[in-house]
Amino acid sequence: MVAVSPRSSLRSDDGFSLIEMLVALVVTMLIVGTALWLLATDTVLAQAVPHAADLQQRGRLALTLLARDLSAAGAGPAYGRLSGALGRALPPVVPRRVGLTGSDPFNAARADAITILWSPAPGQATETTTAVAGDAPAMTVADAPNCGGVTLCGLTAGTNIAIFDESGRHGLYVVTAVSGAVATLRSLQPAPPSFAPGAVVLPVESHSYVFDTAARQLRSYDGYLSDAVVVDDVVGVEVMYLGEGRPPVRPKPVAGTANCLFDAAGNAVAALSTLAPAGDSLAPLPLDLFTDGPWCGEGDRRFDVDLMRVRAVRVRIRLQSALDQFRATGPDFRRPGSNINPLGGVPDLTVATEVTPWNLNAGR
Amino acid sequence: MTPSSQRVDDGFTLLEVLLALFLLAGVALVLADLTCRAVRITDRARRQSVMAMMAEERVEQLLGLSWGLGEAAAAVPVTDTGTDLTGALPASGGPGLGTSPVDALSTDEPGHVDFADRRGTWVGSGPAVPAGAEFVRRWRIARVPSTSECLAIEVLVDVVDAAGRRAGSFTGAAVRVATVKARKAA
């Protein structure tokens, strides 16, 4: 501070002139105004950025999980009569939810659901040595060379298994108890088929990815008791199938038995359409192709044999920002929100992938 | 009147007030800059995700084209040389898995390039850059030199520059995925 002198005290008494005051006020307002504008913009952006990042993370998570399961689709027994891809006997991907609870009917085909089936342990393949009844199923299995003398080929309580044969007849079960060499099973679908001795037994995993429209969630169901949310705030799921234009030649039953494709003499009985492939390889498969039969298999595990054509699966998932305040109106927002600040909007994110599962493409 | 009470009466000088305001503005500026960076980084992450997604998608589609030994008992090599993947859906009239020009990753070769918007949705296949394109995707197929039974597949996805893109004008943040496809029997 300046020391008080007669001159300076006189000056301070003078105060500011009007011009000085106005200049100071304008400068102050400009600086304060700019600072406040920056802070306000900053606040809006700082709130929106974590939600944009969250949206991307959810998108990547959903795609990663789906692509991982789809890549494994169709992994079948490594040993035994039907060794190779599951697609020799049954469809590894079906366009609906399948399992113990909330199954879609066998003749449904949805664009917003897919069930993927594969074996996590192809080496544990074996065959039944007793008939498996439709009601109260139980089984004993052969000590195949790959089982190495281990009881029930290593199948323990809690393992999910598939039992199937050449005709396309198949069922999914969970091993509920093991007593000596006998495994007690629980069928994972209503009206399970019965099997003669010699049906193939294989540990499998079944994952149904289903879009829950009301809750706006993508859920993953294991076909038994676990039905978990994969990601929230999903506003659209679209699954598309590409596959063979030529009619399927499997499942082919053993000589003397018939199924939906062949009579007992091994002659083709079904007149299936040949689709024009888009190019040399794959044809887009419309969903209604999967709802018109002929139907192979039995009970709730019946399937449209055109599902055996599937070679590639394309998935699109659209996600939105969780909070209403970050959604605005317009084509970028499936569900409009309350945002009116163009900087603060977090547009919907669409993630997409196409998977060509190795096991659906043997020979290609 | 003591010197101290006189000091209180004096209040702040205009210089002091301006200094404080400049400080405030400086802090606001730094904060705004940080947020702008976060916005830029989030947008870059979005672009990288979309590019990785597009590259993976094309690799899978190329892997899905026939390059096998068929499902018959006698192995017959089957090669897809007719599928066009440059559209929204596969179509006829393209090169399929036929060997592509060596510069297919650096220039727009017909049948080996397409464009997508900022969501990664297909918007066109050239030769001109379609309106709304944010990404360009190119791919190259080559026989692995030591064997005629393996294909090397490379896919490159990059950002289209705002000025409408000239060949080779890239941002340097491209995504490149390579894989090998072998002939296999049923």
pLDDT of residue B148: 74
pLDDT, average across residues A294-306: 91
Q: Which residues of A touch B46 (CB under 8 A)?
A: 52, 56, 349
> How does residue B168 score in pLDDT terms, banded at 50, 70 and 90?
very low
pLDDT of residue A185: 94
Token reading at B184: 């296999």
Q: Looking at the predicted structure, is the pLDDT value of residue A238 above 80?
A: yes
Q: Looking at the predicted structure, is the pLDDT value of residue B131 above 60?
A: yes
H or E, element range at B34: helix B14-63
> How does residue B8 score in pLDDT terms, banded at 50, 70 and 90?
low
Q: pLDDT by residue (tens digit) across A45-68?
A: 888 889 999 999 999 999 999 999
Strands (E), B63-184: 67-68, 78-79, 83-84, 91-92, 113-116, 122-124, 135-143, 150-159, 175-182
Q: pLDDT by residue (tens digit) across A250-294?
A: 898 888 888 888 988 888 887 888 888 777 788 899 999 999 979
Token reading at B66: 């026939």
Is A12 or B184 the better-scoring residue by pLDDT? B184
CA distance A162 to A141: 13
pLDDT of residue B173: 76
pLDDT of residue A35: 83
CA distance A200 to A195: 10
pLDDT, average across residues A1-19: 60
Q: What backbone torsions phi and psi does residue A134 show, to the nearest 5 degrees?
A: -65, -45
Nearest CA in chain A to B33: A42
Q: pLDDT by residue (tens digit) across B88-119?
A: 888 888 898 988 998 888 888 889 999 999 88
Tell whether A214 is within 8 A of chain B (Cβ): no
pLDDT, average across residues A169-179: 93
Q: Which residues of B touch A36 (CB under 8 A)?
A: 28
pLDDT, average across residues A298-316: 93
Is A84 or A113 the better-scoring residue by pLDDT? A113
Predicted model pTM? 0.86
Q: How many residues does chain A have?
A: 364
CA distance A24 to A43: 28
**Whole-number average pLDDT of chain B:** 83
Q: Which residues of B touch A318 (CB under 8 A)?
A: none
> How does residue B171 score in pLDDT terms, banded at 50, 70 and 90?
low
Contact check, Cβ <8 Å, A42/B45: no
User: Radius of gyration over alpha carbons of chain A, in Å?
Assistant: 32
Q: Which residues of A touch B42 (CB under 8 A)?
A: 49, 52-53, 56
Q: What backbone torsions phi and psi does residue A139 show, to the nearest 5 degrees?
A: -155, 160
pLDDT of residue A135: 83
Q: What backbone torsions phi and psi does residue B152 show, to the nearest 5 degrees?
A: -95, 125
CA proximity to A193, closest of A106, A135, A114: A135
H or E, element range at B24: helix B14-63
Token reading at A180: 């000596």
pLDDT of residue A281: 80
pLDDT, average across residues A14-20: 82
Q: Which residues share a beta bridge with A221?
A: A208, A227
**Whole-number average pLDDT of chain A:** 90
Q: pLDDT by residue (tens digit) across A112-145?
A: 999 999 999 999 999 999 999 888 889 999 998 9
Tell whether A215 is within 8 A of chain B (Cβ): no
Give the dihedral sign, CA B88/B122/B87/A280.
Answer: negative
CA proximity to B108, closest of B84, B137, B131: B137
Contact check, Cβ <8 Å, A362/B71: yes
- Per residue, the 3-state secondary structure of chain A, as one string, reads CCCCCHHHHHHHHHCCCHHHHHHHHHHHHHHHHHHHHHHHHHHHHHHHHHHHHHHHHHHHHHHHHHHHHHHHCCCCCCCCCCCCCHHHCCCCEECCCCCCCCCCCCCCCCCCEEEEEECCCHHHCEEECCCECCCCCEECECCCHHHCCCHHHHCCCCCEEEEECCCCCEEEEEEEEEECCEEEEEECCCCCCCECCCCEEEECEEEEEEEECCCCEEEEECCCCCEEEEEECEEEEEEEEEECCCCCCCCCCCCCCCCCCECCCCCECCCCCCCCCCCCCCEEECHHHHHCCCEECCHHHCEEHHHHHEEEEEEEEEECCCCHHHCCCCCCCCCCCCCCCCCCCCCCEEEEEEECCHHHCCCC
CA distance A242 to B25: 59
CA proximity to A322, closest of A63, A58, A112, A113: A58
CA proximity to A343, closest of A63, A27, A46, A102: A46
Nearest CA in chain B to A243: B64
Q: What backbone torsions phi and psi does residue A362 show, to the nearest 5 degrees?
A: -60, 135
pLDDT of residue B108: 85
pLDDT of residue B79: 86
CA proximity to A363, closest of A304, A289, A281, A283: A281
Q: Which residues of B touch A351 (CB under 8 A)?
A: 49, 53, 120
CA distance A70 to A58: 18
Q: Looking at the predicted structure, is the pLDDT value of residue B185 above 50?
A: yes
Strands B122-124 and B113-116: antiparallel
Using the structure block, give the residue that is written with the tokens 């009579």.
Answer: A263
pLDDT, average across residues A153-173: 93
pLDDT of residue A8: 47
